[in-house]
């Protein structure tokens, strides 16, 4: 009994260290390459074998949940804080700016907002709960800004997906030469969303079509 315990402790320590290294590596890989980055690339960045990644995280959804736990909490909190703004239009605009800023440094973030998880895991469930809470608050933000007469009536909550896809293109194209160019793009779009822009818009695309388009943009099948 006394000889087995010292051998157990380093294994537990190594396991915790490996898990942390994998999560940090996944955060960097997802931010740079999107959510479909191969596990062997994450393993290489973490300095472990690919089998270790699979042992610590049984599927991609579990690894995504671990990598994006803090960012998804920030996403949900951003919407709640925007709803608390006494000015509905400022709350709306502040939220859009904040989400686009979160996206600007993380290629996988926008894809995460529309990803469907098949895995049943407490961490995955919590991630989905935060994402759904954030989206419900976003819908409330849209309704509130329209009621105040500040947001154009034909704005659809899913227009945020289109904005994020467009913003992803701006971020990718200017990341090394003009890393703040996305901010100008977002301000142009916020002006277009304002209620005093009365030119009618075409009907928004179906959400399934938007999700499929985003997946293709990120290289998913």
Residue 1 reports pLDDT greater than 50: no
Instruction: Report the pLDDT value the prediction gives residue 4, as an integer from 0 to 100.
Output: 43
| pLDDT computed for residue 100 by the predictor | 93
Residue 187 CB coordination number (10 Å): 13
Q: What is the mean pLDDT of residues 147-157?
A: 95
3-state secondary structure of 83: helix
Predicted confidence band of residue 20 (pLDDT cuts 50, 70, 90): very high
pTM of the model: 0.77
Q: Which CATH class is domain 68-217?
A: mainly alpha
pLDDT at residue 176, rounded to an integer = 81
- DSSP character for 152? -
Q: 151 - beta bridge partners?
A: 194
Which distant-in-sequence residues (6+ apart) come within 8 Å of 106 by Cβ? 30, 31, 71
Least confident window among 37-41, 57-61, 81-85: 57-61
9-13 average pLDDT score = 57
pLDDT in tens, 76-135: 999 999 999 999 999 999 999 999 998 887 888 877 877 777 666 788 889 888 989 999
Residues 54-66: what's their mean pLDDT?
91
- What was the pLDDT predicted at 97? 94
Distances in Å between the Cα of 157 and the Cα atoms of 143, 153, 182 are 9, 11, 20
Task: Give the least confident one: 4-8, 40-44, 191-195.
Answer: 4-8
User: Nearest CA to 150 among 140, 139, 142?
Assistant: 142
Proportion of the chain above pLDDT 90, given as a percent = 50
Q: Is the pLDDT of residue 199 over 80?
A: no
Q: What is the pLDDT of residue 172?
A: 81
| Domain 8-58 grouped into CATH 2.60.40.10 | no
Both tokens assigned to 172: 């990718």
pLDDT tens readout for residues 202-220: 676 777 777 777 666 655 5
Domain boundaries, the chain: 8-58, 68-217
Token readout for 165 is 């896809």
| Contact by Cβ (8 Å): 149, 195 | yes
């Amino acid at each position: 009994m006394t000889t087995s315990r010292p051998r157990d402790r380093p294994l537990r320590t190594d396991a915790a260290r490996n898990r942390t290294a994998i999560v940090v590596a996944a955060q960097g890989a997802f931010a740079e390459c999107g959510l479909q980055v191969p596990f062997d690339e994450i393993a290489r960045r973490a300095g472990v074998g690919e089998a270790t990644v699979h042992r610590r995280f049984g599927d991609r959804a579990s690894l995504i949940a671990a990598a994006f736990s803090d960012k998804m909490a920030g996403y949900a909190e951003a919407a709640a804080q925007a709803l608390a703004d006494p000015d509905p239009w400022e709350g709306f605009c502040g939220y859009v700016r904040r989400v686009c800023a979160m996206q600007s440094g993380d290629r996988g973030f926008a894809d995460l907002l529309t990803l469907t998880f098949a895995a049943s895991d407490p961490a995955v469930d919590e991630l989905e709960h935060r994402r759904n809470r954030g989206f419900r608050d976003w819908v409330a933000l849209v309704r509130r800004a329209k009621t105040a007469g500040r947001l154009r009536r034909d704005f659809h909550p899913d227009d945020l997906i289109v904005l994020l896809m467009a913003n992803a293109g701006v971020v990718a194209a200017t990341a090394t030469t003009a890393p703040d160019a996305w901010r100008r793009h977002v301000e142009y779009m916020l002006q277009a969303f304002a209620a005093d822009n009365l030119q009618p818009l075409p009907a928004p695309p179906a959400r399934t079509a938007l999700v499929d388009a985003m997946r293709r943009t990120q290289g998913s099948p």
